[in-house]
Amino acid sequence: MLSVLHVLATLAVAPYAVLAIGFLLAGRIFTSGSLWAALDILITTFAWLIPWGAIGFVLATLTLAGLGCAAEYRRVASVLLAAVAAATLLVLILMPTHWPGAGELLFLAPCFGAVAIAAVGLWRSPTLAP
């Protein structure tokens, strides 16, 4: 059951991570200073993201989900999932200029749930010590 919850939590965090990456990229573009610098950042990032970023993101998501399925690696996978979900939440909450309201917090509820599931997986997984 913990394996299924871990995989579902990983799949729930993935779209939020993409949104957080998009917010970070948008913030970098908006603070570039000029139109040419913004275009340079956009083209450079796009040229790197298409061949490597998408493949790397899918592989990282599948690896994180797969690590949570094995009982001996569930503790490591839970720590990684909690770190990714917490970093995503920090970006999505702190990046806007205002504190999120009830609608935004409801939108982020699956990401909060993923942090809780990762904490349960960390708590319930076997220890690494013999």
pLDDT digits (tens, 9 = 90+) for 52-92: 888 889 999 999 999 988 888 888 888 899 899 999 999 99
- Average pLDDT value for residue range 103-107: 87
Name the band, by pLDDT with cuts 50, 70 and 90, for residue 123.
Answer: low
Q: How far apart are CA 50 and CA 43, in angstroms?
A: 11
Grade residue 126 by pLDDT with cuts at 50, 70 and 90. low
What is the rounded average pLDDT of the residues 116-130?
Answer: 65
Determine the average pLDDT of the residues in 46-53. Answer: 83
How far is Cα 102 from Cα 41, in angstroms, rounded to an integer? 34
Residue 130's pLDDT is what? 43
CA–CA separation, 58 and 10 (whole Å): 11
pLDDT value of residue 19:
92
Average pLDDT over residues 4-31: 90
Which percentage of the chain shows pLDDT scores above 90? 23
| Closest among 125, 44, 35, 42 to 81, alpha carbons compared | 125
Q: What is the pTM of this model?
A: 0.81
The rounded distance, in Å, linking the Cα atoms of 115 and 101 is 20
Looking at residue 129, its pLDDT comes to: 43
pLDDT of 122 reads 67
